[in-house]
Amino acid sequence: NAGVTQTPKFRVLKTGQSMTLLCAQDMNHEYMYWYRQDPGMGLRLIHYSVGEGTTAKGEVPDGYNVSRLKKQNFLLGLESAAPSQTSVYFCASSSLRRNEQFFGPGTRLTVL
Amino acid sequence: GENVEQHPSTLSVQEGDSAVIKCTYSDSASNYFPWYKQELGKGPQLIIDIRSNVGEKKDQRIAVTLNKTAKHFSLHITETQPEDSAVYFCAASLRMGGTSYGKLTFGQGTILTVHP
């Protein structure tokens, strides 16, 4: 099992550009999450999904959109990137029976 | 919403010493407290967790204690080794079920360095 995978691993954008981060999990987990990690601030929840076709806002959702068209995939979109979105983005998944979240390796995004 | 404070932000110890990281939480409804370890260039990985009906839990060299009244919990690592060097995060959540959906609120992280 690959667990949770994220693509791409690194990306540099210019202000105003758009991009989509892809998260995939092969553990048949119902729940999936997107976090951003910034120095001194821990991980903050952007959006999450409790099942195929459903998404909800987390702590810091502004400037991001998500979609979960398939159970195994969770996409994070930036429609118009801003320098404040420079961060490391992590995807995670968990089953509905256990609290443990399994994290992907992260995507380092720089917005110039 | 929940707020989790973690201290210290950095911790440096000699190999073989013990390390303690402390967290406080604000929401008395939280009942699940995991600890994650993040190695350089990787995603966080769960190392131990505790539920609110338990005061202490041990797993080999690591242990977690919980004081519900004071709303704080701590990670204890004994006989530290260089491979324990990493960033450690505490978190708080409601247990899976209902409308909590396992959402975690993380502390700010502690950079632990174990010197050989």
pLDDT tens digits, A65-106: 999 999 999 999 999 999 999 999 999 999 988 889 999 999
pLDDT value at residue A94? 94
pLDDT value at residue B52? 83
pLDDT value at residue A8? 97
CB contact under 8 A, A31 and B49: no
**Mean pLDDT (whole number) for A26-44:** 94
Q: With pLDDT > 90 as the criterion, what percentage of chain B qualifies?
A: 82
**Mean pLDDT (whole number) for A8-14:** 97
Question: Which chain B residues touch A50 with a CB distance below 8 Å?
Answer: 101
Q: What are phi and psi of B4, to 5 degrees?
A: -120, 125
Nearest to B101 among A44, A50, A90 (CB): A50
CB contact under 8 A, A40 and B42: no
Q: Which of residues 26-45 of B touch A (CB under 8 A)?
A: 32, 34, 36, 41-45
What is the CB-side half-sphere exposure of residue B87 using CA atoms within 13 A?
A: 21
- Residue B111, Cβ density class (10 Å: 0-12 exposed, 13-18 middle, ≥19 buried): middle
pLDDT value at residue B97? 62
| pLDDT score of B98 more than 80 | no
Q: Give dist(CA B96, CA B115) in Å, integer.
A: 38
Chain A within 8 Å of B98 (Cβ-Cβ)?
A: no
Between B95 and B32, the higher pLDDT residue: B32
How far A51 CA sits from the closest chain B CA (Å)? 10
Q: How far is CA A50 from CA A25, A53, A72, in A?
A: 14, 9, 12
| DSSP of B5-72 | EEE-SEEEEETT--EEEEEEES-TT--EEEEEEE-TTS--EEEEEEETT-SEEEETTEEEEEETTTTE
Residues 6+ apart with CB under 8 A from A84: A63, A111
pLDDT in tens, A47-67: 999 999 999 999 999 999 999
Q: Which of residues 72-111 of A touch B (CB under 8 A)?
A: 90, 92, 94, 96-101, 103-106
pLDDT value at residue B19? 98
Question: Would you say A83 and A112 are in contact if contact means Cβ atoms under 8 Å apart?
Answer: yes
Residue type, A1: N
Nearest to B89 among A42, A56, A97 (CB): A42
Res. A23 pLDDT band, cuts 50 70 90: very high
Chain B within 8 Å of A44 (Cβ-Cβ)?
A: yes
- Closest Cα partner for B101 from A28, A52, A108, A56? A56
**Mean pLDDT (whole number) for B57-72:** 95
Res. B94 pLDDT band, cuts 50 70 90: confident
pLDDT value at residue B95? 67
Question: Which DSSP symbol is given to A97?
Answer: S
